[in-house]
Amino acid sequence: MLDRIKASLPSLAPAEQRVGRLVLSDPRSFALMPVSELADRAHVSKPTVVRFCRSVGYDGLSDFKLKLAGSVSEGVPFIHRSVDVDDKTSDIMVKVIDNTVAAFLKYRNDASASAFDKAVDALVAAYKAGRRIEFFGVGNSGVVAQDAQHKFFRLGINGVAYSDGHMQVMSASLLVPGDCVVVISNSGRTRDLMDSCDIARKNGATTIVITASGSPLAAAGHIHLAADHPEGYDRYSPMVSRLMHLMIIDILATCLALRIGGAKLQPLLRDMKNNLRSKRYA
């Protein structure tokens, strides 16, 4: 983006060139400043700042700032995409929370309801037929798989979560038509998960994959629940992706609970709560 702005400077009006040079001199600050301060620093009017953004191919100042922030925020590799090495604790708190909230809101707007409908239909069919429902994941995704098992277990569904590659392959080898397996992966490129998904599919089980679009795993499953986010799986710790996967499991579990029906679940959940009371201090 900065190279594009630099190349466009000679073709811009003199006032817009001043805005462009301000961007190039300190892109991080430009992305954070209000339009009035930007205009003062560039010695131009506020409409000129907006015109500059449109001249270099963006919808306006807000769109330009958003793209600029994304292009210059390299973050701290293997930690978090948004934070910088000199950030204070208060800065890190805001960035981590804002990054997560932004990813969730984007997912709310982009998620495919039809894909969730297909996944829930498959899970309900497996549940009603008394078939196996299993969850596969490794590393951080293995933790999500365990969380899924816990949530489905509370609904009276005897699902199993496997995070060991050998166990996944063995379990997938035993699956049959009518069974359902949910495969969770941040990268969508984990060899063990790909192998297990392929085996389960060849055996006729329905495969639901929760992973990034365009990944090998996304193409390998029957039903793909896209989990797209700005984290690079090979550079940053999977913070947002892990939370997004947990949220997707929550959506599936909630939909499934409503399909099973409150008349059946409410007594079960009430008894479970009552039986757990003795485990807590008064």
Written in H, E and C, the secondary structure of 124-191 is HHHHHCCCCEEEECCCHHHHHHHHHHHHHHHCCCCCEEECCHHHHHHHHHHCCCCCEEEEECCCCCCH
CATH of the domain at 13: 1.10.10.10
* Residues 267, 183 share a domain: yes
| Percent over 90 (pLDDT), the chain | 54
Given 23, 51, 72, which residue is the final one in a domain?
72
Residue 182, pLDDT score: 98
Q: Are 198 and 225 in contact (CB under 8 A)?
A: no
- State the residue range of the domain holding 166: 112-277
37 phi and psi, to 5 degrees? -70, -35
Residue 275, pLDDT > 90, answer no
User: How confident is residue 282, by pLDDT bands cut at 50, 70 and 90?
Assistant: confident
What percent of the chain is predicted at pLDDT more than 70?
92
56 shares its domain with 186: no
Domain match, 19 and 159 both? no
Write down the mean pLDDT value for the chain: 88
Whole-number pLDDT of residue 176: 97
Between strands 133-136 and 180-184, the pairing is: parallel
More confident: 57 or 149:
149
Average pLDDT (269-279) is 82
* pLDDT bucket at 234, cuts 50 / 70 / 90: low
Both 157 and 256 in one domain: the answer is: yes
Indicate whether 120 and 58 sit together in one domain.
no
pLDDT of 77: 57
Same domain flag for 151 and 245: yes
Looking at the whole model, is its pTM more than 0.85? no
In a domain, 96, yes or no: no
Q: How far apart are the C-alpha atoms of 246 and 254, rounded to whole Å?
A: 12
Nearest one of 133, 135, 111, 136 to 123, comparing CA atoms: 133
Please tell me which residue, 230 or 36, carries the higher pLDDT value: 36
Does the pLDDT value for residue 78 go beyond 60?
A: no
pLDDT at position 72: 64
45, 131: one domain: no
Q: Pick from 72, 98, 127: which residue ends a domain?
A: 72
pLDDT band at 133 (very low <50, low <70, confident <90, very high): very high
Number of domains in the chain: 2
Q: What is the pLDDT of residues 44-54, one digit of tens each?
A: 999 999 999 99
In terms of domains, do 129 and 51 share one? no
Is the per-residue pLDDT at 183 higher than 60? yes
How many whole angstroms separate alpha carbon 122 and alpha carbon 115? 11
Band the pLDDT of 68: cuts 50, 70, 90.
Answer: confident
Domain-embedded: residue 107: no
In a domain, 210, yes or no: yes
> Which tens digits make up the pLDDT trace of 85-103?
778 888 888 888 888 888 8
Q: Is residue 16 part of a domain?
A: yes
More confident residue, 28 or 148: 148
Residue 221 lies in a domain: yes
Residue 98 lies in a domain: no
200 plus 252 within the same structural domain: yes
One domain for residues 25 and 123: no
What is the average per-residue pLDDT within 147-173?
94
Q: What is the CATH number of the domain that holds 222?
A: 3.40.50.10490
* 90, part of any domain: no
Residue 194 reports pLDDT greater than 80:
yes
- Under the banding of pLDDT at 50, 70 and 90, the label for residue 222 is very high
Same domain, 19 and 116: no
As a residue count, the chain comes to 282
Residue 38 lies in a domain: yes
Which position has the token pair 């409409």? 47
Per-residue pLDDT for 73 more than 60? no
* 14 and 123 co-located in one domain: no
